[in-house]
Amino acid sequence: MKKELIKIIKEAGEILKEGYYTKKDITFKAKKDLVTQYDVAVENFLKKKFSKKFKDFNLIAEESDNANVEFNNSIIIDPIDGTTNFVNGVPHTAISVGVYKNKKPYLAVVYNPILDELYTAKIGKGAYLNGKKLKVSNENDFQKSLLATGFPYTSNTNEDDLNDVLKKIKLILPLCQDLRRLGAASLDLCYIAKGTFEGYYEMNLKAWDVSAGILILTEAGGVVSNINGDEYTLFEDKYLVASNGKIHKKFIKNLNK
């Protein structure tokens, strides 16, 4: 399945790439939440191909109506993760696809066609970037750790969320090396997998933002949890906290101070 999945996602990457260099039609789902015709085109392409090739799986995708779609055995698709980057010409954007069997991650692909970076993972078989095995960093000093975060679209409209974002930045920023906001959750997780970042946290993520990145990170030796340090549950937990594992306890402690 992995080879076929990659082949289809690489083809979809051509649609994303074409759109990246072209003028786009932008629609606002909410004040900050953009969508373009390319998000829809990539999603439709993937759904069409997947529904033919992988008949045993339900398809859950960002720009579709997923009501009544069962998650148990599913392919969870973010057609363009980092749409704001995509629209503004920041080459940090990717197609993210996670395959789940019995609610557990099985296969994962995150593909940035602009930089030609293909991250893949299969449960128990490791994680790879363009075929090269990935491993998280060995850094165990929180003060020397480069972290990433993201700002949920709700921080625009929900004062509690905005306050929580600001509170956590105030707690974390003095304690770590620095804090990045690169704008694509799937890639934030891949960047920990390849040892660029030590950690990442964000609230209100959707399943498609992280369905693939979680497996890529854990297969590279990293850890993903909720804000209490317990198992992160897709579709349920408010916060995702991810790291190289070595700073995880400290990370959880510092986020909850």
Q: Compare residues 5 and 80 and give the one whose CB is closer to ligand IPD.
A: 80
Q: Shortest Cβ distance from residue 2 to ligand IPD (Å)?
A: 23
Q: Residue 80 catalytic?
A: yes
Site string for ligand IPD, 97-136 (x = CB under 6 A): ----------------------------------------
Q: Compare residues 5 and 187 and give the one whose CB is closer to ligand IPD.
A: 187
Using CB under 6 A as the binding rule, the residues of this chain from 188 to 227 that contact ligand IPD are 202, 205, 209
- The contacts of residue 119 (CB under 8 Å, 6+ apart) are 108, 109, 110, 111, 127, 128, 129, 134, 190, 193, 212, 216
Q: Cα(188)–Cα(197) distance, rounded to whole angstroms?
A: 8
Q: Hey, what amino acid is at 88?
A: N
The token pair at 201 is 């946290």
The token pair at 49 is 């191909």
Binding to Ca ion by residue 81, rule CB under 5 A? yes
Binding to Ca ion by residue 43, rule CB under 5 A? no
- Candidates 82-90, 113-121, 139-147, 244-252; binding stretch for ligand IPD (CB under 6 A): 82-90
Q: Which of 39, 43, 63, 78 is catalytic?
A: 78
- Contact status, residue 12 vs residue 95, Cβ threshold 8 Å: yes
Q: Which of 39, 81, 161, 237 is catalytic?
A: 81
Question: What backbone phi and psi angles, to 5 degrees, belong to 149?
Answer: -145, -175
- Alpha-carbon distance values, 64 to 41, 52, 150, 162, 234 (Å): 12, 18, 23, 27, 18
Q: Compare residues 110 and 185 and give the one whose CB is closer to ligand IPD.
A: 185
Using CB under 6 A as the binding rule, the residues of this chain from 144 to 163 that contact ligand IPD are 150-152
Q: Residue 83 catalytic?
A: yes
Using CB under 6 A as the binding rule, the residues of this chain from 50 to 79 that contact ligand IPD are 78
Which of 147, 137, 135, 78 minimizes the C-alpha distance to 112?
78
Q: Shortest Cβ distance from residue 102 to ligand IPD (Å)?
A: 26
Which of 21, 13, 66, 60 minimizes the C-alpha distance to 41?
13
What is the binding site for ligand IPD (CB under 6 A)? 78, 81-84, 150-152, 183-185, 202, 205, 209
